[in-house]
Amino acid sequence: MEYRVTKEECESNIKGVCEGCGGELAAIETVDNSGNPTFWQGCEKCSCFRQGIEPKYFEIARKLVEDNILRPYGHMDITEYNNPDKLEYYYDCQTAGLSPIIKYIDKLLKEIS
């Protein structure tokens, strides 16, 4: 079987942790949109395909979300996520949206220093 992206190629693209839940990323065998076998990096903990982010950006984003300081998805109302599983989903979604923003802010701060 010929893969569009091999397991080794996929593993070499994993950079850090899941930007949503902070879980470990792995090469997951799947098919692409054309039905071709491939590997994508994803998080088995939260069942999402992710690019990965440095743990420090995840940790800052999660803290800001949990403290209700920043939330990139304003259409998501925390009061609608009223049980532990739903609340975890809310935090993971908000953190996944905020993690790359925190990384970008860090890049900007380094540029102006």
- The CA R_g of the chain, rounded to the nearest whole Å, is 16
Answer yes or no: is pLDDT of 49 > 90. Answer: yes
3-class DSSP assignment, residue 86: helix
Query: Residue 45 — very low, low, confident or very high, per pLDDT cuts 50/70/90?
Result: very high
Looking at residue 49, what DSSP letter applies? E
Report the DSSP beta bridge partners of residue 42: 26, 49
- In this structure, are residues 24 and 43 in contact, taking their beta carbons and an 8 Å threshold? yes
Give the mean model confidence (pLDDT) for residues 51-66: 97
pTM of the entire predicted model: 0.88
Q: State the DSSP H helix or E strand holding residue 29, giving kind and residue range, or none if neither.
A: strand 25-31
